[in-house]
Structure formats: C-alpha cells, structure tokens
Structure 1
C-alpha cells in the first residue's frame, strides 16, 4: 500500500509572493513619487521665472498695486486680478454649494437605487462638458436672460461667468458629498428613526453632521476648481482688469473683469516678448494662484482631519 499522500499542495511559494509584493510596492511608490515630482517641478518652474519678474518689479508693488496695465503703462498691481478671481469664486460657491449639497442629500437619502443609478451619472456628465462650451452658453444665453430680467450687464461680465462656473462645479460638490453621506453607517439612521425622527431630520441632524469632513472637503476642492477656472471667465467674463469699487462693490459684477487665469492667458496670447516683465508676470501670477490653491487644499485636509468620524 502506497504511503504517499494524494492531498494536493495548495501552498504558494513564499519567494514568488514576496517578489510580486515588492514589485507592487515599488510600482505604487513610483506613482506616488511621480506626483510629488510633478508638484515640485511646477513650484520650481514658477518660482524661478517669478524671481526674474521680481528682479524688475517690486514685490510689494505687485501685491498691493491697484492697476494692472502691463503693456501700456508698465503697472503690475495684482489686486484687480485677485478681486475679480475672488468675486467669481464667491458667487460660484453661492450657486454650487446649496444646489450641490441638496442634490447630494436627495441622492443619498431620498432617491431609490434605480433612480440614483440614473441621476448620479447624469449629473456627473456636467463635469465632462468642455469648459469653453460653458463660456459660450453664458455669453449667448445666460447674459441675454439676465438682461431681460433687468440686470444692467455688459456684454461680457463677471456675473454670468460666476453663475456658469458655479454650474460647472456642482457635480464636484454633489458627487463627493454624496459619497461622504453614503459612507455614514445605516445604524445611525436607524437609531434616529427609532427615536421618532423624520427622514428630513435624520438627513440634516444625523447624516450631514456625520459626513461633515467629506462635505467640507468637497466644498474646498470645488472652490479651488473655481479659482483655477480659465475658459469660462475668458469667454464670458472678459479680459479687462478693473479694481473693485469699495463704494459700490455690487456694480463690479455687472462689468467685465479679468481674473488671474485670464491674465495668464492674455500674457500668452499677447505680443509680449520672452525675457520682458510682461512675459515673466505670467509666472508671478501663476505662483500667486498656486499659493492660494495650495493653501485651500491644506485647509481642506485640516478640516477633514478635524471632523473625521471613526465608525469602527
């Protein structure tokens, strides 16, 4: 009688498994290192050319100046660009945050699985439309509608551009917020229902506070996206730098303006020769814009860490 076992050997070679795991580890490390390298390369490139700009233009004058006329008057005050950028960002946030959050609450708490499977991809299609299309929609349709409603708008204006940027970032707010709300354990919802709470009360008093870190992070990311938007503000907002009038700040949105990204496009598309202050101003603006968005992302990470809930 044979003493050999007929049981198959189901164990794997530890040497082969270790080799594969090392390959996975270094491949993932390479991807992570690539993202850090790209970020570092952007910072170095912007800083190197921005330093050349600040060798010819005083940094304090650049940061506090109220006139941006780089070609005609050689004045490089960035405040008109910053105020236009903040105007577009604030108005677009006022459009996107309420609508996006409400859409996320509906998709997470009210919509059936079948309805969610249709509505969420349909909503996210908005993020795939080219931004230049949004710009032309604002110019051709939105501005005439607002004029018909009585708004004294110029042909190109910051109000139409801001509203369209707000529509553009709604999918980012709604999708990320809905993901955060869906991650809230059902036990918390059931506990609320057990205490007699309505669906609306569970949504607003339990789900939204529990998902606050993810929701706030979506707000910050969407706002950062609005700050960096280019084509919508170029097409619909115009490229005329104007300083905010403190005596009548609301009139600023009815006129054309130039955001920081639009100024960079203007610098590239103008006749500015390489090596001139007009050319290097593009990198100074880019470094300023990068600093603002980088700070926004740091704030997002701090908020997410501060209000993160652990359900384990």
Structure 2
C-alpha cells in the first residue's frame, strides 16, 4: 500500500484526505517516480473546489490532487525511454502528484511532463518549477522582452510572477509589477519596481514610466492587460494567462503548455547560475495537506508552498 491525497467530493481543503491506496506500478512504456516533494499551485485547489474547473481538465471525483512533483525514478516498465531507475526527475502529473508514487508515460504527453533534475537543484525547488516556471516562460515568450523594454507585470508577487519578474530582468528589461503594498519589499528583492493594483493603475504606471510601457503580461485577470492597452502597448506585446480564451483587445492568451521545448532547461540553468531564485514560503508534510492548501488558497503567501513526503 502507499499514500495519496484524494478528494471524493468537490469543496475546500476539508475534502482532502490522505488515504492508503494500492501501490501503483510502472507498466509498458511507463516509469514510476518515488515522490519526495510536491509543489502547490492555485489551479490545484481550483480543480478540487469547483466542478466546472475540474471539467475543463477532464477530472471527475474521486480524484487525486496536485500537479507539480519531484523525486526519483524507482521503476521502469518495458519499453520506457529517456529515464532509468535512479534518475532524479521533476514534472507534472495532473491531479495525482501529491502521493508517494506517480506513474507517467515516456515520452510524456500533455498535460503530464517529466524532466531530469540537474545536480545542484534540490527536490523542493524542482517541485515548484513545472506550472509556475513553464507558465512564466510562455507568458514572456509571447511578448519577447528584451533590453530597452519596460514590461508591466500584473500579479508580480504571485507564484508565476516571481519567475516572470526575474526572467524579464534577465532578458534586460525594466520591470514594473502590480501588487499589494505589503509585498513591495518582497518584489524589490527580485528587481521589480512595484505599483499598487486597483483603480487608478494607469495613472500610477504612467507616473512611474513617463516614457511609456512597451510590453505587458497579466497573470491575474485583465486589469493589467487593459491598463497596457490604455497606455498604447500593441496587443501583440500583451499576454494573459487567466483571462480565458478571448482576452480583451486582441491580446495574447497563453499558458504553460505553450512553453518552448527548452524552457525548463533554461530555467534550471538560470537557477544553477544563481540568476534565478525560487522563494519557498513554507513546507508541510503530506499529513498537513489541508493546512498547506488553506494557506495557498488565502493568496497572501509570498513564494511557493511545498509538500514533503
């Protein structure tokens, strides 16, 4: 037997249960990963809480929980390719990552994913990368920030935002990030110039950047995208990740599944070079999954939350 976090109904953190389940094994063309860490994302509790969100991913109850994970391959089925027993890996397994074991196909097919974890990147950090890192990479690739750009980032202090800010800075751009005032010092340590979101945002950004904003990415709703349009940013240089399939004004909708094939390697290379920092706000043992999700859902945490196994 092995452990897995399961929810048999939709609801808040109280529906999550740590259950003993039959131990899964790798079949043909599959590998099994002994999970050591699982990173939490807003999409995880969104799927567990809202049937309509779950339906978008084809998830029905009873279901497992979580997407991001890291660990070690401990079984390889016949015909499995690309990974071998003993390999350190990290990846995504839709609604089944917070468990002792995850089984994935090789090569992986979306939405699942698997990458080697390089030496020098710990499992807790690696477990934060799939959703936030790939979403950030996609959001920026669609607007192509470069030296001389001033990029407006909406929701800059969130899990995706801290990646976006740092990756945009690495590209040579100036970064202005919308956030609550309580997160301003947190954002400044990553090189962003913070600005309070909410009514009057356009005027506040104009005051910070009198020469104009040249690109923008909105990581929470549409306020930043609408502000960028009002400031004259061309729609093709504005991206959104949470505005639905038809964001305002013809701006670009994107997400982690659109990331370029080498995006994860570029992210882990930046971590190894000391150019990108992953802030881990809290770690919880798997037995404390409800506490961890309650903290995550409160949206007041600065950095990533990781479950350890």
Which TM-score band (shorter chain)? Answer: under 0.3
**Structure with the higher strand share, 1 or 2:** 2
TM-score for both structures, normalised by structure 2:
0.25
TM-score for both structures, normalised by structure 1:
0.24
Per chain length, whose mean CA-contact separation is higher, i.e. which structure has more relative contact order (CA < 8 Å, sep 6+)?
1
For the pair shown, the structure with the greater C-alpha radius of gyration is 1
